[in-house]
Structure 1
Amino acid sequence: MMKITIFSRIKKFAADARKKSKDITLGEFTRSYADERHKEGEKMYEGRCGSILSMLKHLETFGGSNIPLKKVDVETVKQFIDYLRSAHDLHKNMKAPRKLSDSTIHLKVNILKSVLREAVRRGLLDENPFDLLPHSYRVKAQYRERTALTQEELIKLSETPCNTPELKEAFLLSCITGLRKSDILSLSIHDIEKCDDTYYIYKKMKKTQRWLRLPLPEEAHHILSKLHAKNGDTPYFFAHLSPHHLGEHLEVWLEDCCISDKHITFHSGRHTCATLLLTQGTDLYTIMRYLGHQNINTTQRYAHITNQMLSSATHLLNYQLKGLAAC
């Protein structure tokens, strides 16, 4: 009798779980999808999880989060894309909210596509509406050349005061070490080790979860020493620097430095590091290890040939071929 009762409870529990999964909304499924991709030690609005939750905010503003998952169709997707094309950034306290860029729209659409693909895989949706999407609704990422600062611009920027001093230290550190924003903001005294009079950053990178051991340049060591002395008890160098609105503060600082003809983001610090190493003659394999890349093809995208190098190559070729025209 007891066995029958236990079996009945298990059967009822399974039936309730199936019913609940069928009644789940698009917003609920998206949040659970984000939770499953949250890495240990990572803040909720960082990494892949953060990107999904950011898309979910727009989904809620659009009014699509309460739609039952099983009722999401191609019209839902089309209306959401139309919304994104006219939507503004949802960051709070922005002085002048800006419309979403093509690249941002492309990212959010692709995240929703991944969410719905997972729903199909789990049997919660018969087909992915994106498979039926008309060509006119295909969102393409706007190609933007990876921008970097020249050595002269970097020196000029370092000499220009910034309204957010810790942002200045963080960005310059990224330009010197090539570390990503997520690794800069989580950098602590425990990530620094000393061996044979040389300091190293020894840290697990947040994006790839791979360990990086990087000799610490003298200027970077100077920045970190100054921050550690100022921060007191906290082991984190940038404990008081909020990750929100860094782009806006960086933009103001760049304008104060009269650098406005380039699209510079915090990640441009990483591009700057790779480009400066390349212009100084560092080979791509060494740059690959310096940046913590697994594949040399990734490094080649970062280390684009600068105009200065192209100009130098042209002058060298002209010198070597001088006199050929007269032959």
Structure 2
Amino acid sequence: MKKDTLQAYEQYLILQKGLSTKTIANYVTELNIFQNFLLKKWNVSLQKATLEQIQSFFAQLKGTETTYNHYITVLKGYYKFLLKNQQLLNFHIEDLEYKKRKKTFPTVLKLEEIQALLQASKNTIFEKRNQTMILVMYCSGLRVSELIQLTFDQINFNEGYIRCFTKGSKEKIIYCGDLLKVVLQPYLEKIRPQILKYRTSNYVFTNKIGEPLTRNYIYTVIVNLAKKAKIKKKISPHTLRHTFATHLLENGADMRSIQEMLGHQDISTTQIYTHLSNQKIKENYLKYFKDLEEKE
């Protein structure tokens, strides 16, 4: 792939699409994977490749439908950019087809499981910090990437909200009310000073030298706590985000408000939670009438 073409595409993603630095870096890495494959197998560039040559990449690609479709999205975006700049292709973009994904619903925890997750922690300062992180994710629906980058200037205790930026650098406000103080203040006043000692940091959740925690660390913490709590569901930090949205919906929050708090650009992404909520309604209905039958 010509360096100037790739650089032009990077600039296009920054200026026209407003994608995050991390997303753009991932796209560039993936395009280079495509390019290296095509050069090695067919001795052809990404710009000159035929549909058959591109499909040979997907034939050897390992992973789920999600992985497959992500690569299709990356490719289509790049090829559309080339067409926009009057570069001819050897195939029609429409022929790059997505795989149909099986309909799956996200895992959601019950309130008792959230409590079990918290109670599985020991009483050390680091585990108390981890408890606070779990509560913040559950009470705010923050992505793990948003949590680890959370700084003090993003929190307004007086108004009871967290301000952060979603994918694509769009600002979102999450109102937690007095719950924000209840959850965070004991950690900030007692636990965090013991972790940092004489050090300072603008990050809310840090390791002992004031650096932000990593995604992998938080994932490991939650998986290990789930095992200790004997939660059989396969969970991750994102499960807390799904649980936040589902519990809001089940308790009467409207779809548009949940969309804003999650930072979803398209409400159809948020509507997955209506299926989960409807399933809960169905379960309650069947349980109620089963109990009724047993009483008669």
TM bin, normalised by shorter chain, reads 0.7 to 0.9
State yes or no: 1:255 paired with 2:216: no
Q: Are the structure 2 counterparts of residues 286 and 121 from structure 1 closer, same or farther at C-alpha, using a change threshold of 3 Å?
A: closer
How far off is 1:142 after superposition? 3.8
C-alpha separation in 2, matches of 1:227 and 1:64: 54
| Percent identical residues | 22
1:21 aligned residue: none
C-alpha separation in 1, matches of 2:86 and 2:287: 63
Q: CA offsets per residue over residues 95-123 of structure 1, 9 Å max, x none?
A: xxxxx222122112221122122112212
1:234 to 201, 207, 229: 201
Q: Are the structure 2 counterparts of residues 29 and 152 from structure 1 closer, same or farther at C-alpha, using a change threshold of 3 Å?
A: farther
1:70 to 47, 50, 54: 47
How far off is 1:254 after superposition? 3.1
The answer to whether the 8 A contact 1:35-1:49 is kept is: no
C-alpha separation in 2, matches of 1:32 and 1:143: 37
C-alpha separation in 2, matches of 1:297 and 1:111: 21
Q: TM-score, normalised by structure 1?
A: 0.67
Q: CA offsets per residue over residues 25-52 of structure 1, 9 Å max, x none?
A: 167745653454348x9974x3x31441
How far off is 1:200 after superposition? 2.2
How far off is 1:246 after superposition? 5.4
How far off is 1:149 after superposition? 1.3
**AA matched with 1:56:** L
State yes or no: 1:215 paired with 2:182: no
1:139 aligned residue: 99
Q: Are the structure 2 counterparts of residues 176 and 103 from structure 1 closer, same or farther at C-alpha, using a change threshold of 3 Å?
A: same
Structure 2 matches for 1:63-142, cutoff 5 A? 64=39, 67-84=44-61, 86=62, 100-128=63-91, 130-132=93-95, 138-142=98-102
Q: CA offsets per residue over residues 16-72 of structure 1, 9 Å max, x none?
A: xxxxxxxxx167745653454348x9974x3x3144145236436635598434322
**AA matched with 1:269:** L
Greater radius of gyration (CA):
1
Q: Are the structure 2 counterparts of residues 58 and 188 from structure 1 closer, same or farther at C-alpha, using a change threshold of 3 Å?
A: same
The answer to whether the 8 A contact 2:120-2:228 is kept is: yes
Structure 2 matches for 1:1-327, cutoff 5 A? 25=1, 29-30=5-6, 32-38=8-14, 44=21, 46=22, 48-56=23-31, 58-59=33-34, 62=37, 64=39, 67-84=44-61, 86=62, 100-128=63-91, 130-132=93-95, 138-161=98-121, 169-195=132-158, 198-207=159-168, 209-216=170-177, 217-218=179-180, 219-222=182-185, 225=188, 228-229=192-193, 230-231=195-196, 232-238=199-205, 239-244=211-216, 247=219, 250-262=222-234, 264-293=235-264, 297-303=268-274, 304-305=276-277, 307-314=279-286
The answer to whether the 8 A contact 1:77-1:129 is kept is: no
Task: Say how many residue pairs are matched.
Answer: 276
> Highest relative contact order (Cα 8 Å, sep 6+), 1 or 2?
2
Q: Helix, strand or coil: the match of 2:175?
A: strand
Q: Are the structure 2 counterparts of residues 112 and 60 from structure 1 closer, same or farther at C-alpha, using a change threshold of 3 Å?
A: same
Gaps of 5+ in 2: 206-210
**AA matched with 1:141:** R
The answer to whether the 8 A contact 1:26-1:64 is kept is: no
C-alpha separation in 2, matches of 1:56 and 1:33: 11
Q: TM-score, normalised by structure 2?
A: 0.72
How far off is 1:178 after superposition? 0.9
Please say which of residues 205-214 and 73-82 is displaced more in the overlay: 205-214
Q: Helix, strand or coil: the match of 2:161?
A: strand
Q: If each structure's helix is expressed as a fraction of its own residues, which one has the higher value?
A: 2
Q: Helix, strand or coil: the match of 1:241?
A: coil
How far off is 1:277 after superposition? 1.8
C-alpha separation in 2, matches of 1:70 and 1:42: 23
**AA matched with 1:78:** Q
Q: Helix, strand or coil: the match of 1:115?
A: helix
The answer to whether the 8 A contact 2:143-2:238 is kept is: yes
C-alpha separation in 1, matches of 2:73 and 2:265: 24
